[in-house]
Amino acid sequence: MKNNLKSDEVEIRVRYGETDQMGVVYHGNYIPYIEIGRTEWLRKLGTSYKEMEENGVMLPVVAINLRYRKSAVYDEVIKIETILKKIPTASIEFDFIISNSKGEVLTTGNSILAFIDSKTNRPMRCPKYILEKLEN
**Does 20 participate in catalysis according to the annotation?**
yes
- In order of 74, 107, 116, 119, 134, the CA distances from 12 in angstroms are 11, 14, 30, 35, 26
Helix (H/G/I), strand (E/B), else coil: 118: coil
Catalytic residue among 8, 20, 75, 95: 20
Distance, C-alpha 70 to centroid of its chain: 19
At 66, which helix (H) or strand (E)? strand 61-68
Contacts of 133 (CB under 8 A, 6+ apart): 5, 45, 46, 47
Q: Dihedral sign for Cα 119, 123, 124, 129, please.
A: positive
Q: Which residues are catalytic?
A: 20
